Structure 1
Amino acid sequence: MADWTADELPDCTGRTVVVTGANSGIGLEATRELAGAGAHVVMACRSLDDAERAREGIRDDYPGASLTVRELDLADLSSVRAFAAWTDEELARLDVLCNNAGVMAIPRSETADGFETQFGVNHLGHFALTGLLFEQLREAPDPRVVTQSSGMHARGEMDFEDLHGVEDYDKWDAYARSKLANLLFAYELDRRYGDELTSVGCHPGYAATNLQYRGPEAEGSRVRKLAMKAANALLAQSAEAGAWPLLYAATADDVEGGDYVGPGGLLNMRGAPEKQHSASQSYDEATAERLWRVSEDATGVEFP
């Protein structure tokens, strides 16, 4: 794995992959490589216009790319349910679900369902999506669910008394909590259903994407946005390289349920993907079970 890149992707012909947030950043690069390897990729995106432009850009590189654009707003459970209903009706099979989309370090706001936005989009939206697609996934020969986390999960704490930051909100603490929730979910999914699908966590390291700019833009801070651009230019790896852990987790033969894949280079921020250990709190089974129950209650989505 020391020198693994997207050039090592296996042939994905005949496989169908759903990628959330496929119109930009890591999701776009992962979609480009999966389509180039022969997969049919469903680009599940909030903005259809952005997704259509992204699709045309991919087809400039791979004219025969098999791509479908569908609307998915993870901040609205009615949109999640509509997307899942479409997949059940229109997709003959579903092999891989890449829970990739996310928001980072934004001022406090709420989703259509009243959830704090970072927790609602990054965790609850993907929890509901996975549950609603579960029956279709389990019918595939070798189904996988890959959930994108972040090294920031190590800062996270699950405050079940104030999950949505009503009493106390810090944008970075809220982001870290949502990314910890991603791993608690990924590992609990493996514990519960590991005999039916492979559930894996991953993180991109420090990759230059538009994600870093959304917080400063929401705050109207030009100075912070410029600082983020400077940091990206000096320290970050490309979005293409940032997609490698996701691609490895989604396709590599040696991936097992409960794995955590991230860059193996400097401070785990860049480089080729490798299997790693996440922070100790991400393996807490009691916390994971409680989060699962809370997530089912919040979303109204129950797994079989």
Structure 2
Amino acid sequence: MSSVPSKLPSFLHSQLLVTPKHPETDCSGRTIIVTGANTGLGKEAARHIVRLNAERVIITARDASKGAAAVKDLEQTTGRKGVIEVWDLDLASYDNVKAFAKRVAGLPRLDAIIENAGINTTKFVEIGGNESTVTVNVVSTFLLALLVLPKLQETAKQFSIVPNLTIVSSEVHFFTAFPERESPNIFETLNNPKTARMSDRYNVSKLLEVFACRRIARHHPVSRLGVTINFVNPGFCRSELAREMNAVLISVMYAALARTTEVGSRTLVHAGTEADKSSHGQYMSDCKVQKCAKLVEGPHGKELEERVWQELSEKLEAIQPGVTKVLGPAV
């Protein structure tokens, strides 16, 4: 069973009684990427990072005009020009992800990447050999993570720092029973249009992110990797991700419970720019390390973690042979 009933009290407490702290860490000299930042959480996170004196902030968008509009808005509100750039990134295209990562490789440095881009859809569409949510939120997200890891590691050595690679996950990973785990091949089951449970798909995609992040961190400590990998829950926020939900229902939920995207974005900035090595492989919520769902922390969590990573890594290797080797030997 999912953890919805047991999670509800802490969810309500967080939404109604907790306000994540306003980011104040100076980012002078840093180059930071925020994906999916032409709107919503990503845009507000970028606004904070620019305000905090980052030297170079790269936001991504699939639509050039929307990206340009976001840059104009960020420059006007922060009073800083020549800092923000918008780069094309479409997680629905593996070739586009590879091209983006190649461009990242040419940067003088990369202090952090906050992987915020994602989709939430109830419509089954196949993209890149998977259901689109799986492709965008899981496969391409970790393809990008591994492809930019060498630049983060290079920066770590050159500037004697520990860069952060932050995946924007969600507390909705608590809300799925994940019945697909009972099948011999998890991803194959998720990609079957006849049995796909699309109403739960976003929740499952976020759970898969959790498993993958924890598996990488468990076998690749910061001492060897040189980079901190964490995953963050921004809380329930007003977001375009919910645009397919019932309009009346989402309006009521927004009015009663939702954080603004600015408040939610504070958690992204904390995980990407403030969280230290102790956050490696950890679930960050309300700007602190918290426990994951029982499916993750429970007795079968490690087994599921290994299965998810094995299947995911096979997909990643098929897309870009040798890509998982950048992690180095597992311990």
Task: Please give the TM-score of this superposition, normalised by the length of structure 2.
Answer: 0.80
Aligned match for 1:237, one of 244, 256, 259: 259
* Contact 2:20-2:267 within 8 A present in 1 as well: no
| Aligned match for 2:129, one of 108, 111, 114 | 114
**1:104-133, Cα deviation, whole Å (9 max, x unpaired):** 14311122x121111111111111001111
Whether the aligned pair in 2 keeps the contact of 1:21 and 1:44 (CA below 8 Å) is yes
Residues 109 and 116, structure 1, Cα contact 8 Å, conserved in 2: yes
Deviations 1:186-225 (A, max 9, x none): 2122123322211111111111111111x24xxxxxxx12
| Residue 275 (structure 1) aligns with | 289
2:75: which partner in 1?
59
- Cα separation, 1, equivalents of 2:87 and 2:255: 32
Is residue 2:282 matched to residue 1:259? yes
Extract unaligned runs of 5+ from structure 2.
1-17, 156-160, 327-331
Quote the offset at 1:3 in angstroms: 6.5
Aligned Cα RMSD in Å? Answer: 1.8
Secondary structure of 1:169's counterpart equals: coil
Identity %: 27
The residue identity in structure 2 corresponding to 1:184 is: F
Q: What is the CA–CA distance in structure 1 between the aligned matches of 2:232 and 2:50, rounded to whole Å?
A: 20
Could you list the runs of 5+ residues in structure 1 that have no partner in the other structure?
217-223, 264-272
Match of 2:168 in 1: 148
Confirm or deny: 8 A CA contact 2:20 2:264 kept in the other structure: no
Q: Deviations over 1:243-267 (max 9, x none)?
A: 121111112255521222213xxxx
Which among 60, 69, 74 is matched to residue 44 of structure 1?
60
Aligned residue identity for 1:135? P
Q: 1:168 deviation in Å?
A: 1.1
The list of structure 1 runs, each at least 4 consecutive aligned residues, that deviate by more than 3 angstroms after superposition, is none
Bigger Rg over Cα? 2
Distance 1:244 1:64 in 2: 20
Aligned length: 283
Q: Distance in 2 between matches of 1:182 and 1:192?
A: 16
The amino acid of 1:60's aligned partner reads Q
1:21-76 CA distance string (max 9 Å, x none) = 11111101001101111222111222221111011100001232511111100011
| Residue type at the aligned position of 1:180 | L
**Which of 1, 14, 18 does residue 33 from structure 2 map onto?**
18
Between Structure 1 and Structure 2, which shows a larger proportion of helix residues?
A: 2
**For structure 1, which segment, 153-162 or 234-243, has the greater mean C-alpha deviation from structure 2 after superposition?**
153-162
Superposition map of 1:1-304 within 5 A: 4-6=20-22, 8-39=23-54, 40-65=56-81, 66-89=83-106, 91-111=107-127, 113-140=128-155, 141-156=161-176, 157=178, 158-159=180-181, 160=186, 161-194=188-221, 195=223, 196-213=226-243, 215-216=244-245, 224-254=246-276, 255-263=278-286, 273-283=287-297, 284-299=301-316, 300-301=319-320, 302-303=323-324, 304=326
Q: What does the per-residue CA deviation read over 1:149-201, in whole Å, with 9 as the maximum and x for residues that have no partner?
A: 11111133254140224331222321111000111122122123322211111
SS of 2:57 mapped into structure 1: strand
Does the C-alpha gap of structure 1 residues 82 and 253 become closer, same or farther in structure 2, counting only changes over 3 Å? closer
Report the Cα distance in structure 2 between the residues aligned to 1:4 and 1:279, rounded to whole angstroms.
21
Q: For residues 184 and 47 of structure 1, what CA distance do their matches in structure 2 show?
A: 31
- Give the aligned partner of residue 270 of structure 1: none
TM-score computed with the length of structure 1 as normaliser = 0.87
- Equivalents in 1 of 2:126, 2:19: separation in Å? 42
1:239 to partner: Cα distance: 0.5
